Amino acid sequence: MIHLFSQGEDRSAPTLVLFHGTGGTERDLLPLARIVSPASSVLSIRGNVLENGMPRYFRRLAEGIFDEEDLVLRTAELYQFLEDAARQYGVARDNFVAIGYSNGANIAASLLFHYGQSLKGAILHHPMVPRRGIKLPGLMDTAVFIGAGANDPICSREETEELASLLRDAGADVSIHWERSGHQLTKTEVDAATAWFERNF
């Protein structure tokens, strides 16, 4: 997978794994990583599905309607990539914290839905429920921050709360931060995610 890795100054800090939104690249969220945890190593991955030339992490049939088969396959592929990257770059596999926005938040949520030990924590900016009707793995040691917009036309309030309760039922420690805005990522949401990260890691 196309990606960037940079070694952080603090080798005990979590490695931040970055997932951009639809149409983005592995460079988009680098400024966020520097705000959230400046001394962390960073692994930023470009989605390897193209929708009209726009990179994303899995196929969709329409806005918010996911190609479930592709989602499962891409999630497995990504999980394997994380395993390989930890070995290749010599970073602790059990110390990965994701930061994802929109489609990137959805693939990070999908990692949590399918693999118990995939992430130690996740900052999900404007995520959706990636999949329904499956039993989630135990997420007892996983901390999740959800940033949501009360006026987000893509992720409804109900869906945000559904995602939080599915993750909580699996044992995750979930915090939801509400903005009054829509789908965009605001400075105050990033500040809230940073404060959450500092409390948890």
Which residues contact ligand MLT (rule: CB under 6 A)?
21-22, 60, 63-64, 102-103, 106, 128, 154
Catalytic annotation on 183?
yes
Length, in residues, of the chain: 201
Judged by beta carbon, residue 95 or residue 103, the one nearer ligand MLT is: 103
Judged by beta carbon, residue 41 or residue 118, the one nearer ligand MLT is: 118
Q: In what order do the strands lie in the sheet with 15-19?
A: 3-6, 42-45, 15-19, 96-101, 121-125, 143-149, 173-179
To the nearest whole angstrom, how small is the minimum distance from the Cβ of residue 21 to ligand MLT? 6
The Cα–Cα gap between 19 and 104 comes to 4
To the nearest whole angstrom, how small is the minimum distance from the Cβ of residue 86 to ligand MLT? 25
Q: Which of 67, 156, 175, 183 is catalytic?
A: 183
Catalytic annotation on 152?
yes
Nearest residue (beta carbon) to ligand MLT: 103
To the nearest whole angstrom, how small is the minimum distance from the Cβ of residue 55 to ligand MLT? 11
The Cα–Cα gap between 80 and 73 comes to 11
Number of other residues whose CB lies within 10 A of the CB of residue 102: 25
Q: Which of 102, 118, 125, 126 is catalytic?
A: 102
Query: What is each CA distance from 101 to 19, 21, 56, 79, 155, in whole angstroms?
Result: 7, 5, 11, 18, 12
Q: Which residues are catalytic?
A: 102, 152, 183
